Each structure stands twice: as C-alpha cells, then as structure tokens.
Amino acid sequence: MTTVTLAQVAQQAGVSAATVSMVLRNRGRISQATRERVLKALDDSGYVYNQTAANLRNRSSNQVGLLLHDITNPFYGEMTAGLSHEMERHDLLLFLANSEESGERQQNFVDSLMRNSACGMVLCAARDTPPSFFEALKRRNIPAIMVVRPLNDPDFDFVGTDNFLGTQMATSHLLNMGHKNIAFIGGSPNSGSRSQRIGGFTSTLLEKGISPNSDWIVSTQASQLDGAKVAESLLTRYPEITAAVCYQDIVALGVMQALRKIGREPGRDFALVGFDDITEAALVQPALTTVSVAAKEIGRMAGELLYSRIRGNEEPPKRIILPPALVILESCGYSATPATGSAKQQKAVM
C-alpha cells in the first residue's frame, strides 16, 4: 500500500508534476494529447489526491465545522441534514461537534477547527457563552454563521426563524378561536429567543385590547417534565386560563400531561399551541398545533450563506430570518388537516 504521488504519476506519463497538477484541476492550457496521457497515467496508477498537501500549500481547506449543543434533538437533526446537503453540493466536508452546552467543549472545537485551517463554521452557541468567545472568534477572521439562537452582535451573520412573528401567529389563532385568558408557558428567563416570542405574544394581545397578565407568563426548563410541573401549578392557581402559547413543543407536551392530571382535556377544554414543529407534535393525541420553523431550511440557508462568505462575499453581516408557519392540527379544538397527513411521520430506522 505505497502512496502514489503526483511526481510518480508525472514520471509515468513522461511529463512534469506541474503538468499533472494542472490537468487535475483543469487549470492552464494543456494540449489534448498530453492531457489524455496524464489521465491515463492517473487511472493506471491508482493515484489518490493528497488534499492535505494542497491545503498546506494553499493555507486553506475545504472543511467547515458545525457546532450544536444537542444533536439528538430532532430539530437539530433536521437542520444538520439541510446543512450537510448544502455542503456536499459544494464539495465541502462537514465537521460535527456536540457541545452539550459546555463552553469548554465548544471552545475546544473551535480551537480544533483553527488548527485544522477550517474555512468556515456554523455555530449554535452554548447557553451562557461569554462575549469573549465571540470577540475571539472575530479576531480569527474566519467566516462564522450563527444559527437558531439569536445573538445580539451585529458583526455576525445569523440565520434563524422569526420568533416574534411565530408567536404572533400562534396568539392570533387562539384569539380567533375566542380565547381571552391565554398564558405563555416555557423558556428560560435569560433566553433571547424567549424574549422575542414573548414580544409577539404580548403585542398581539394588546392589539386586541387585552392586557397581558405577567402572572400568566411563566418559565420552565426545556423538558416535558418541568413543563408539566409548572403548568399544573399555574392552571390550578388560575383555572380561568383557557389557552396557552408554549415556548416549545416539548413543553406543550408536558402541559398536556398536566391538563389531564387536573381533569381537563386538551383540545376540548383547553387550547394549546406549541413551537418548533417537532415530529412528536403530529403523533400525540390530540395532535399539537404548532409553529413550524423549517429546521432543514435554516440549515440550507446557513450553508448557502457560509459558502458565499468562503468565496469571498464581503457584504455586511446579514440576518436571515425565515418565516414561520402555523401548522394547525387538533390541540386547539379544530382540525384543519388530519394528524395523519404530516410528512414528518414518514420516518424510520434502518
């Protein structure tokens, strides 16, 4: 298993290494005759291009990084698929890392990318990432696209969803169904996404002349369990609440549990809207009406933008905010599309 080098191929073809290199990359003007000789030699020798040598010479690479905090989350799985597809289209290799919300792992990954001369990265930063992280990143001068988690730093490109509009749509839907006492459940207090979603929620209420009740806006951890716990206490205390906009689908699922525990049936005695459009939303009963954020599209757009930056696009940083869509299923007591109609349900293992 000896590695064949350009020079060896060149010798075999009776030309110089430079010529072979140009043939390989379709550069320069090579006569048809020699080109064919070279191609034959390449084929015969079983030559494997050494990208490492090329990268060293070019001080660059064709490798980009993707940092997530939880790849097991279906939302990020979708996003990764979108990004991966886009990267392959441009012959870029994708490094994946899972920070698991650890700032240290996150830093290690970025450092590692730098050592490997990655040509760009897509980041969904860990919670509570210090500003110093982003400052250091800017100094690196390497294209970096932020995704999903909004960042208050105008120097970075960002691709995400319109949290504000999303909850506006959700809230309007509930108002149109006749609800007036609506709660907002979920999210952690220091989340930027949450601020935006609450903004959409309260502004829509106010447009209809309803004053938001701050006691009815509660935060939870990002789990079904905590969603259930918090919702139970909220709804026991304020039985007059008849509907809720949830920060995430996962929290909405918890609220469903809580409702049943206190003897109220979601979709009949209580209306519920989630956010994210995860696969599970369409599977529970009643199927959860939710705001879809087009995870795959976020990945695709991030990839497209990153690629343009790598190509040298020097335009000012962009914020690409994808429009959300309200997926109306059953949890608000009204079924526009049957739960079995979702494309999301066509998944499988193996």
Partner DNA sequence: TTGTACGCGTTATCAA
Partner DNA sequence: TTGATAACGCGTACAA
Task: Check if the beta carbon of residue 244 is closer than 8 Å to that of residue 275.
Answer: no
Q: Which residues pair with 68 in a beta bridge?
A: 98
Least distance (Å) between residue 328 CB and a second copy:
20
Least distance (Å) between residue 12 CB and DNA:
12
DSSP secondary structure, 258-308, as one string: HHHHTT--BTTTBEEEEEE--GGGGTSSSPPEEEE--HHHHHHHHHHHHHH
- 93 interacts with, out of a second copy, DNA, none, CB within 5 to 8 A per kind: a second copy
- 190 interacts with, out of DNA, a second copy, none, CB within 5 to 8 A per kind: none
Cα(302)–Cα(145) distance, rounded to whole angstroms? 7
Q: Position 21: which residue type?
A: S
Q: Quick one: DSSP state of residue 189?
A: T
* 3-state SS class at 173: helix
CA atoms in the 13 A half-sphere facing the CB of 9: 29
Residue 2 burial (CB count, 10 A):
5
Closer Cβ to a second copy, 138 or 208, answer by number: 138
Buried b or exposed e, range 60-73, using 16+ CB within 10 angstroms: ebbbbbbbbbeeeb
When binding is defined by CB under 7 A, the residue of 27, 139, 311, 347 that contacts DNA is 27
- 85 interacts with, out of a second copy, DNA, none, CB within 5 to 8 A per kind: a second copy
Closer Cβ to a second copy, 182 or 298, answer by number: 298
Residue 291 near DNA by CB under 7 A: no
Closer Cβ to DNA, 2 or 132, answer by number: 2
Least distance (Å) between residue 249 CB and a second copy:
7
Closer Cβ to DNA, 29 or 139, answer by number: 29
Of 90, 37, 140, nearest in space to 305 by CA: 90
Least distance (Å) between residue 64 CB and DNA:
19
- 17 interacts with, out of DNA, a second copy, none, CB within 5 to 8 A per kind: DNA
When binding is defined by CB under 7 A, the residue of 1, 3, 72, 314 that contacts DNA is 3
Least distance (Å) between residue 132 CB and DNA:
25
- 30 interacts with, out of DNA, a second copy, none, CB within 5 to 8 A per kind: DNA
Candidates 4-12, 124-132, 194-202, 303-311 — which segment interacts with DNA by CB under 7 A? 4-12
Closer Cβ to DNA, 42 or 306, answer by number: 42
Closer Cβ to a second copy, 96 or 206, answer by number: 96
Candidates 20-28, 122-130, 214-222, 342-350 — which segment interacts with DNA by CB under 7 A? 20-28
Residue 30 near DNA by CB under 7 A: yes
Strands (E), the chain: 63-68, 93-98, 120-123, 144-147, 157-161, 182-185, 217-218, 243-246, 271-276, 289-292, 319-322, 325-327
CA 320 to mean position of chain CA atoms? 12
Cα(214)–Cα(325) distance, rounded to whole angstroms? 26
Which residues from 44-103 bind DNA, rule CB under 7 A? 49-50, 53-54, 56-59
Residues that bind DNA (CB under 7 A): 3, 5-7, 14-19, 21-22, 24-25, 27-31, 33-34, 49-50, 53-54, 56-59
